[in-house]
Structure 1
Amino acid sequence: MTRLALHQLSLRDVKPVDLPAVARAVGVDTVSVFVTPPSPDLDIFPRVTREDVAAFRTACSDSGVGVHNVEVFSIGPETKVVDFSAALDLGAEIGATRLTALVQDSDRGRASDGLGALADAAAARGIAVSIEFMKFSECRSIGAGEGLLLDIGHDNLSLLVDPLHLFRTGGTVADLVATDPGLIGAAQICDGPMEAPKSPFGEAVEDRGIPGEGAFPLADFLAALPPNTPIDMEVPMKRLAKAGVGPVERAQRLVDASRALVEPG
């Protein structure tokens, strides 16, 4: 059975310490949370801080919920991986099994060195690293991500494939099928129109479609993933929050729609 995780981005109005209880209420046993911002000037997502660790761990224990993924570890021109030590330690303390890395350095050699160092540091803490390609980064396609992984050749590095970023970067399901399945470590699920909206960043962080609401070929996307790929439900639903739909109901709609695709029949 494919494991589904409830991503914090889906419920930005819910405090991280309250996310495990919501997950349990809708029958999900893992969550993904932020532990470090994508950049100092983009600290806009709810995240688990050092002061929250004890309460968050208690919430997870009380709900019987684990942590799948922690975000966001950006490798930029000035990045020193040692500066991620506190966030990596925090991720390990809350039991994360994976983290998401972004490439924000156009110097391929330097980015590769940074990713390799991050993979080493994460491996020492029992955490796998997946690179997420997107148009808002310097790794802008699934092919670019695959090439980077092949160049680095680190066994603790893989790709995270998000259908939004696959299609918004001009990729197709055929591109996913053509990618070495051994390089794919994790995936996400969401929906949307095939034509990008006027604000791609707004779509990415505020309003995506619940699976089945849009035009993404999600059944084909899921069929192209390696078996048992863990999948994050990353679907910000600001429109529903503004309409007064509560967090548990929003999460339940998301879970029901995702399971109908991921576990048909």
Structure 2
Amino acid sequence: MKNFIFPVLARKAYAQNLQYRGTHAINTVASAIFGFIHVSIWIGIGENNTLGSYGVNGMIHYVAFNQVCLWITVFMTNGLGIIPSVRTGQISLDLMRPVHLFYIAMSREWGEIAYRLLYKSVPIFALYAITFALPLSAEPAVWLLTICALIMAAYMAICIQYLIGISALWTTESNWLVWVNTALVMLFSGYLIPVEWLPVWLRSISAYSFYPYLQYHPTRIYLGYENGGALLGALPWCIGLTLICILATRVVRGKLEVQGG
């Protein structure tokens, strides 16, 4: 049964987004412009600095590919849409379904990710490949490892948003967790600055978290700074977060409190 539900939910989520392609196109343009601004800042910094092992061109490519990855690994549906379902009481029906709540939410989000990949990440990647000469590797292994790293990154992001979503069952306001998570991603994922350039104490925190696997490692794998060894570090996080999501759902089933009645 689950095997049939996944493509149906993913396809419906994808199709629903197609109705808003015009609006989303504006977001894509804004994201691309923000990437240009980010690159310009690093070009200015690079005038008086060597920028470590990256160099100016390396940092341009690093920043550009990070911007491409954002729509796959960071910009998820807030709480996977669970927060409003708690407020309306829909969550009680979702928990009664014969399919696990995490599986339902995850299936929908993969459809969202597929849409964002095709209509946001790919256009931005093509633009940056032309304007910034973003490298196109001729090695199939690099593409395969990068795709695997991005899939695992997206899955970890889904797990985090799911946990944020079901936290709405214990608090009347959980949206703040979305913004806290976003701030932590910007700091620890290597998006704003490579992880190795962080202060020692922040670098240590980042190293013991899953955040570098969202942006830093996929980008470095694509640019050839790392091999597939980083995937071995991401796998335990994927397994651990899955178990936490399953356990949290079990707790939710044992004590369900729908706000407003």
* TM-score normalised by structure 1 residue count: 0.24
- Higher helix fraction (1 or 2): 2
| Larger CA Rg, structure 1 vs 2 | 2
